[in-house]
Structure 1
Amino acid sequence: MKTTSIFSQVLCHLIAMTLTLRQGVHPLPVPTDIPICTASETAQYSLTFTGKWTQAAFPKQYPVYRPPAQWSNLIGVTHSSDYHMWQRNDFASNGVREFAEKGEAWTVMKEVEAAGERIQSVYGILSAPAAVGGTGQMNTQFEVFARHSYLSFIVRIVPSPDWFVGVDSVDLCDGDHWKDNVSLHLYPYDAGTDSGFTFSSPNFETMPQDRITQITASFPSHPANSFYYPRLKHLPPIAKVTLTKIKKTNQIISLLLEPTQSNQLPTGNEIEDTLINTPLDCEASVWSPWGLCKGKCGESGVQHRTRYILMHPANNGAVCPPLEEERKCFPDNCL
């Protein structure tokens, strides 16, 4: 695909530039109020991103075609504590904006490059191919160093105005050793650059630009929003990420076996996969004006008004109300 080719060219360019940047740079001071990683060796991790974006969990306006629900490429970086790819309640950079709105990676890659010494080298860049379908999965591997023990990444929700999921500065180091497993639920974020309310909204630039905010069941508080579920206290997770430290045997790196009933051990940081059925209540339009009064002169008549269904119920949500109503009336202008 053309998009994959462009993405590969961007990554190759960034590799060359970051190798150049490593020469002649000086370390930046490390903040004293942040835990310092003292692990003596580097660590390799496998990253598994799994979509949980199902029609049962997110029935409202679920995109089934042109395009159907899916995930963009994953773009990430391992970094030191003084760098942020993106941050909640902060403004999205131009690179994050272009990626969240269009899935274009060039500018955000250039921003990573411009971070200079804060990015450890080519090993600090990670990517994974796009996942087909809302429950698609993507995998990649990466390396971390004691001075660059943080992981950040971003994945665009497709289709959407400027919505994404990701993690910001997850520390994989715990004092003098690396964490074995980290599992995180992921929830949707709004980049604050497009004002569309639905998955398929046309481009509508936010002026002035807003801050990155987490989308919840009640925020934005607008019935048209694709994630608006007023009956829920919290949205179910739309994706999850699992980070697994790769074991080294005689300096040969080997991936851990996939979890099965025979080899799966409780780690205290595992995420249970349960079937989620989010109730979606029926939504009806406002009533039309009352129609003409039908009846004989001098006698009471009947007039009607109607409304129509905006959203059909799902997963045992509230059923639709009556769509037609009548009342007694007396004909006007009776001759």
Structure 2
Amino acid sequence: MSILNSGKFLIVIFIIEEIFSFRCDRRPYGSITQSSAPDGRYRLEVVGLDKTYIPEQLYTVQITRTDEDSLFTMFTISAEGDTTPDPRNPRRLILLDAGQVSPMDQTTARYTVRCPNSVEQTISSPKDTVAVYWQAPMSGNGCVTLRAMVAENEAVWFEDGAPLTLRLCEDLSQPDDIAPVINNECSVCEEAKYEISFTGIWSRNTHPTLYPENDWVPRFSELVGASHSTEYNLWMPGSLASEGLKVLAEYANSSALEIEIREKIGDGVRTMIKGKGHGYLRMSTPSYSSFRADKVNHLITVAVALSPSPDWFLGVSRFELCSEENTWLEERELNLYPWDAGTDSGISYESVNIPTYPQDNINRVAMSSPDKNSPFFETDMKDLHPFGKLNLKLVRTYQRECEDTTDAGETPAPDGGGSDGAEDGNEPEEPSRYQTQHTTGDRGGEAPVVRDPETSEDCPMTQWAEWSICEGPCKDGRVDGYKWRERYHMINGKAVEKYDPNNPDAEGTEDTVPEYCKNNYEEFDGESCEEDCEETVTVERRVMTPIAPGHGWTSKRRDLPKVKN
């Protein structure tokens, strides 16, 4: 009986050892001896890493000697993942991904059939160092253990323990361009209006490796995206690209993606975002757009294609604007790095068209590529210059009724909480690009505004307002900047301020404007501009007061103090 019990005990121990260690026989070929404890003469290291790894990055793993004389003939390098309880059956353990170990040079290393996810020597010749690749696993796989066996000969070999064993865990730090956690309980009262701008950085100076030979070829597509709810997905890492995103990423054509977004306005999408694309000599010119957000539609997703490229694009996915404190994000600048749409297998900017079949998931463009034909050959993300920057800026907020309303005696917040700060009779501050100033006094008969002849009788809109001044830095006597103008939908001969509950005349008109009109006639127009300027000038600036419902266009002049770029 005791023998049977002992046998069962040994079997259990064997199973537990098998589950938790996932070890294999790394003994040198021909050896009949046991391994020795590492004596410090050989070291396993990952170049550039200490204790953490960045998911999906390609790293160099090497064995080196620590003295001037030691040599080894055989080795094995393995990657082992952690275990975690199976969520469907907590009694069962599942093995997490450890990434992939692969040879760097086939003359020195090869895959081994004796151990999973391992490489060994190709020739048993004396050597003082050896290097292989390790592709880190995707995010969410926790820690990985890298192990090395080093043999001087069949009788003298070492394994396990420092410095021949490394345990690396996923880097969970949050860089500046990581999106905030999605706030599924957003209950902010106000609606928000944002300005969004994209500035390209991709150039021969910043990204010289395999940059297209002809400088007039590279360009950025239009900036396209949407403010939307948590239920809507324009694109997301790990998912398949839609046909619209495929066309954008491969051909820098935004038309199909715009149609996909427009079809969802009112059904998960609040505002479509679109900014101008730029090419030769204007790659770094900012593209602007604006959008609205509310407590239901508090995420944004945007994309900008790189051209030429196989299927690469820049952008952010499901970026949260509503904080956990239920306030709107004031301003944020994001560094943008390339994404791969998973529809083309080209390796470089000007690769021939190689359709990916079956289609792969959206993911980061492979960094630290071992392929010399890639512009990211042996380049880590942390060493890569951003390809562009995205800037988000809260322009203003519009007060909405909340279930838990503010006490009657409480003073409302200044502009940003719905007030324009003009009731005290003083000159208001310079309005931002999109700020609306509401007028309450009589303006002389409330003359009806003139319809834009480009719009139809079914979807009337006001004529475009005057262009703003050309805004931008003054360099060498020229402004290379951006100008804008606005117009409004019309109801019964009067202009309608969309989505603006502060204006009594606009109440109830949001649903009156047909969805077709909202989708097919733009309220905002902007374009690049160039003007002469002086480094130090006195600026006489025309400040436009956007039209209030029932009133005509007016403007006033304001002398600004001397300013210097």
Q: Distance in 2 between matches of 1:161 and 1:90?
A: 18
Which residue pairs with 2:358 in the alignment? 208
State yes or no: 1:128 paired with 2:298. no
State the 1:117 CA deviation. 4.3
SS at match of 2:356: coil
Q: Distance in 1 between matches of 2:227 and 2:255?
A: 18
Which residue pairs with 1:190 in the alignment? 340
Which residue pairs with 1:24 in the alignment? none
Q: Is the 2:231–2:268 contact (alpha carbons within 8 Å) kept by the matching residues of 1?
A: no
State the 1:158 CA deviation. 1.2
* Deviations, residues 314-335 of structure 1 (Å, cap 9, x unaligned): xxxxxxxxxxxxxxxxxxxxxx
Q: 1:49 aligns with which of 186, 198, 201?
A: 198
Q: 2:431 aligns with which of 237, 241, 254?
A: 254
Q: Distance in 2 between matches of 1:118 and 1:167?
A: 21
State the 1:112 CA deviation. 2.3
Q: 1:203 to 1:120 in 2, by over 3 A?
A: closer
The letter of the residue matching 1:126 is I
* Deviations, residues 78-133 of structure 1 (Å, cap 9, x unaligned): 00011111111221111111111112333323322444644344xx1110010234
Which residue pairs with 2:229 in the alignment? 80
Q: Distance in 1 between matches of 2:378 and 2:421?
A: 51
State yes or no: 1:94 paired with 2:243. yes
SS at match of 2:221: strand
Which residue pairs with 1:263 in the alignment? none
The letter of the residue matching 1:119 is G
Q: Is the 2:228–2:299 contact (alpha carbons within 8 Å) kept by the matching residues of 1?
A: yes
Q: Is the 1:71–1:136 contact (alpha carbons within 8 Å) kept by the matching residues of 2?
A: no
* Deviations, residues 194-249 of structure 1 (Å, cap 9, x unaligned): 11112112211111111111125314x42211222447754221111110111445
SS at match of 1:101: helix
Which residue pairs with 1:29 in the alignment? none
Which residue pairs with 1:147 in the alignment? 296
State the 1:185 CA deviation. 0.7
Matches within 5 A, 1:32-43: 34-43=183-192
Q: Is the 1:246–1:255 contact (alpha carbons within 8 Å) kept by the matching residues of 2?
A: yes
Matches within 5 A, 1:241-280: 241-247=390-396, 248=415, 250=420, 254-255=431-432
Q: Distance in 2 between matches of 1:259 and 1:135?
A: 12
Matches within 5 A, 1:1-335: 34-65=183-214, 67-115=216-264, 117-121=266-270, 124-132=271-279, 133-174=282-323, 175-219=325-369, 221-230=370-379, 233-247=382-396, 248=415, 250=420, 254-255=431-432
More strand by share: 2
Q: Percent identity?
A: 28
Q: Distance in 2 between matches of 1:233 and 1:179?
A: 26
Q: Is the 2:238–2:362 contact (alpha carbons within 8 Å) kept by the matching residues of 1?
A: yes
Q: Distance in 2 between matches of 1:229 and 1:75?
A: 31
Instruction: Choose 1 or 2 for highest CA Rg.
Output: 2
Q: Distance in 2 between matches of 1:98 and 1:256?
A: 32
* Deviations, residues 15-57 of structure 1 (Å, cap 9, x unaligned): xxxxxxxxxxxxxxxxxx9532222111111111111113232
State the 1:157 CA deviation. 0.4
* Deviations, residues 255-282 of structure 1 (Å, cap 9, x unaligned): 279999xxxxxxxxxxxxxxxxxxxxxx
SS at match of 1:156: strand
Mark the runs of 5 or more structure 2 residues left unpaired by the alignment.
1-181, 397-414, 423-429, 435-470, 474-565
Mark the runs of 5 or more structure 1 residues left unpaired by the alignment.
1-32, 261-335
- Answer 1 or 2: higher relative contact order, Cα 8 Å, separation at least 6: 1
Q: Distance in 1 between matches of 2:266 and 2:310?
A: 33
SS at match of 1:108: helix
Which residue pairs with 2:70 in the alignment? none
Q: 1:231 to 1:246 in 2, by over 3 A?
A: closer
Q: Is the 1:217–1:235 contact (alpha carbons within 8 Å) kept by the matching residues of 2?
A: no
The letter of the residue matching 2:206 is A
SS at match of 1:246: strand
Q: Distance in 1 between matches of 2:283 and 2:269?
A: 33
Q: 1:77 to 1:224 in 2, by over 3 A?
A: same
Q: 1:236 to 1:117 in 2, by over 3 A?
A: same
More helix by share: 1
Q: Distance in 2 between matches of 1:147 and 1:251?
A: 28
The letter of the residue matching 1:127 is K
Moved more, 208-217 or 80-89: 208-217
State the 1:136 CA deviation. 3.2
Q: Distance in 2 between matches of 1:176 and 1:60?
A: 44
Which residue pairs with 1:266 in the alignment? none
Q: 1:232 to 1:71 in 2, by over 3 A?
A: closer
SS at match of 2:260: helix
The letter of the residue matching 1:255 is S
